[in-house]
Structure 1
């Protein structure tokens, strides 16, 4: 049997617009856009682009801050059968140029103030034919509002493109530790499973009465989360500014009775440590989903004491679109009681399988560390035009995440660390995660990153970069580690910084930390 047609994922928008036409779909400040208006706007822009020859398989590069056109552009691409290629808005023009050229983008939508990004893309991307400005267009460019008006005037009924299961809809660029980012190909069939799974495992009971606060870029994980809410007719609420304002975030939670948000551990930490958390009513919250990195236990406990049992952890990569494990609210507790899987990122998601493999592809028993591998319908179809990366990642019938860890007897997953983070000191494998967890239990340590660096005696040793909220000496920190981890794992030294470099998604970036350490010559 051949591959069968599947629903174009863009049909989700049309279904909810028919069912809940006057319910809000997008809220920012005083702007409330209903689902019917969103569908009309999306189909108008899609109509205007289709008239210019943009259709199935074409790539739409989008470089924009969180806003309505960015939100709509995903649906425009899906309904055209085109491929949405969103960028991290904080990348440099040369990095955007690489995404444009490697994806083969024929059209680019850009936000105000980013004309130099367009110039960089055009310089290396002969395929780029159409440039669309969200603000004032330059000579030779189209305007988003102009396309919208043009499409609205045609008043034609837009028919979404016919698609197959494996037809791509999103190039989800992953930031590697080395080399250029790789485009993970997400497909219409795969993403239909992902959305269904997220509703089942992460936010059961989600309805059109739900409200979702967007506190991360829609270009990546928060964009996936917005699709899930859209599938149930739940409005996405955007803060007014581009940077996280904790007071505004908690005010919006109270005002709109927000019940869910997608975030990362560092943003949860910032939100719950800010005094505004006690200023506003957040009792409407049901699901505060954190992903992208494990959450340190000390931060977890603080958030649970502030918010109650609303934390949901999921472990996943862009390549598996988050669908690897889940740790639901009932398995989060501020106290380390019986039945609590402290340190675990949860159990396998519905329909997904997690295996711990050795180098030869053999399954390892419970409690034994190895490569965390996964298979199931949420796994992406591969990296675009990158056979070398595909060969490395897909082995023995599994997708290798690049993370290390083990399963317990009940099937709960414990991540030891990133394979690339591990270092070997005196012949022993050392996993930074364990050291970081121990250091964060000290009340004066608010953030930490441990890296392995060359050492003439031990081959490699650890350096702990820390951010503190009070005075603490090296001797005090070593004394704190004494009962918690073996001496061979101790960092050689501590480096104190006022803040950690973070990605646009709020994750501590060890690649940048290593570069800064070398630049500042802070390690002998």
Structure 2
């Protein structure tokens, strides 16, 4: 297959991924970038060199308490500098990290600790992490496989070490377990090996900054720039995100920024005005987030008059990005290009993205092309490849694709087939090799035998001048099968039937919205995905508001 249109001339379609672990990236960037700021949160910051020394210190502390290769250590912290230090410290000790959402209930925490087989948990809970007690800000290691469970509570403190514990890891060792699937059922632990994590880190870091990996004299890995009109460059950019670190977007993104020598500014929680303050204060070049976050930024009352000219690239992920949102973002951030990527936890993070170059063609409805070393196939329900332009399920193969779910053999067999990942997402490829996401198979509606894709309707709704955000789900109907139902958050007051008429005038009769409900906000996950399961539950409790 020929390279897709706009593929950067000096980037190979296959990267030479060293046979190593993500820890070689941490060490290589510490030596390459040294005193350059790696992480910044509020007034606190860490250089690349100190990030490595502090992580080595925590790794040694864990090893001294008996944590060893293959043990699982959970992390139950909010966003903060302690999180990356503890995460890399766990990996340096030879153990596997298991991030837990700080929003979990004690029951959910206990379940995920049991599912992951964790020996210990790093938490800032004031007492037993399963008790639901308030946090006191003191980060501790709690060994939970002893009797009583909280017998050993060890303050992490601020240890430093020049070198990590003497543990030999390979690419086959598990780097982390990330729980996925919480929007559709009981979360499953996705097994991400060091080989998966290293490949994904280098694939996307090189793609975004125009580089190839190289190994230094001590086995560390860093990036070497290649020629090209790339929007970002290794060792030069500052990025800003509020993505939660317990989620792949924040966690794997952390390793990618370390690899590219990017200064990462993060937030303990997202607040639109504060986000814009940080863009101005640090002259940020790269913004990262979900569509819902960028919707909120565009509605921020203090947006006007900001100095946003430093921004060169806007990375948007976790849900399809409507074309109207892309157009508004590029109008407000006038020096920036929006880059919509596509991926999922089972592929470590990202599988496709547009080229991060000035000369790449604008394809606002696309999530780009497969990353170097990645294959994407579009298939029908029988698993047969379909022609370009035809909607089908996306299958992914590449070194970043996980081997499966922890202790879930049946679900693993159904999702991971002969080296391919069945994503459950619908998409199509155009003649130039660019992919577009249509929606989830589970979200597709069947109205009187016709397929209706919510994303198409949502995009039209967002073009209405009064609509700030929108989502579409199906309501069961004994005659039609399912009817499309819209939910909107209004920017300015507007009769619902005006929005309904606006949408239905632009689609075929079988695709028309049959109901519309105005809500104050859409239910969102921790990374900004619309929780359509909750919207469907709302439909069980409310009667039709407007009928077409």
TM-score by length of 1: 0.88
Contact 1:173–1:182 (8 Å) recurs in 2: yes
2:259 corresponding residue in structure 1:
231
In structure 1, which of residues 49, 63, 82 is the aligned counterpart of residue 76 of structure 2? 63
Matched residue pairs, number?
A: 498
Alignment of 1:82-97 (within 5 A): 82-97=95-110
Q: Counterpart of 1:210?
A: 237
Counterpart for residue 144 of structure 1:
156
Flag the 1:395–1:486 CA change in 2: closer, same or farther, 3 A. Answer: same
Task: State yes or no: 1:371 paired with 2:393.
Answer: yes
Structure 2 residue aligned with 1:336: none
Match of 2:130 in 1: 118
Asked if 1:201 corresponds to 2:207, the answer is: yes
Are the aligned partners of 2:62 and 2:90 in contact in 1 as well (CA < 8 Å)? no
Partner of 1:31: 44
Match of 2:145 in 1: 129
Q: Distance in 1 between matches of 2:363 and 2:49?
A: 44
Post-superposition shift, 1:376? 1.2
Measure, in 1, the Cα distance between the counterparts of 2:109 and 2:264: 27
Within 5 Å, which residues of 2 pair with 1:231-270? 231-239=259-267, 242-270=268-296
Correspondence for 1:289: 315
Report deviation, 1:112.
Answer: 4.3
**Alpha-carbon deviations, 1:179-200, whole Å to 9, x = none?**
2111111111121111111122
**What residue ranges of structure 2 are gaps of 5+ in the alignment?**
1-16, 134-141, 211-231
Pairwise CA distance, 1:458: 1.1
Rounded Cα–Cα distance in structure 2 between residues aligned with 1:475 and 1:420:
28
Q: Which moved more, 1:55-64 or 1:305-314?
A: 305-314
Rounded to whole Å, the distance in 2 between the matches of 1:298 and 1:356 is 26
Name the SS of the counterpart of 1:281 in structure 2.
coil
Select the residue among 493, 500, 511 that pairs with 1:489: 511
**Preserved contact between residue 83 and residue 169 of structure 1 (Cα < 8 Å):** yes
What displacement does 1:466 show?
Answer: 1.2
CA contact (8 A) 2:209 2:234 kept: no
SS in 2 for 1:173: strand
Partner of 2:24: 11
Are residues 437 and 427 of structure 1, via their aligned partners in 2, closer, same or farther at CA, if it must alter by over 3 Å? Answer: same
Distance 1:230 1:490, change over 3 A: same
Question: 1:84: Cα distance to partner?
Answer: 1.0
Q: For residues 401-441 of structure 1, give each alpha carbon's deviation from its aligned partner in whole angstroms, at most 9, with x where no partner exists.
A: 00112211222112221000012111212111111111111
Measured after TM superposition, the shift of residue 331 of structure 1 is: 8.6
Structure 2 residue 502 is the aligned partner of structure 1 residue 480: yes
- Higher helix fraction: Structure 1 or Structure 2? 1
> What corresponds to 1:384 in structure 2?
406
**How far apart are residue 165 of structure 1 and its match?**
2.0
Which residue of structure 2 aligns with residue 498 of structure 1? 520
C-alpha change, 1:258 and 1:466, in structure 2 (3 Å) is same
CA distance in 2, matches of 1:281, 1:463: 40
What secondary structure sits across from 1:505 in the alignment? coil
CA distance in 1, matches of 2:501, 2:110: 49
Cα pair distance change 1:99/1:302, threshold 3 Å: same
Moved more, 374-383 or 29-38: 29-38
Superposition deviation, residue 116 in structure 1:
5.9
Give the CA RMSD over aligned residues: 2.7
Residue 215 of structure 2 is matched in structure 1 by none
**Residues 156 and 286 of structure 1: is their aligned pair in 2 closer, same or farther, counting only changes over 3 Å?**
closer
- CA pair 19-410 structure 1, distance change in 2 beyond 3 A: closer
SS, match of residue 102 in structure 2: coil
Contact 1:314 1:326 (8 Å CA) reproduced = yes
Choose 72-81 or 474-483, whichever is displaced more: 474-483
Contact 1:8 1:79 in 2 (8 A): no
Does 2:472 align with 1:430? no
Query: How far off its partner does 1:522 sit?
Result: 6.0
Aligned-partner Cα distance in 2 for 1:61–1:341: 40
Match of 1:276 in 2: 302
TM-score normalised by length of structure 2: 0.84
Measure the CA separation in 1 of the matches of 2:49 and 2:75. Answer: 24
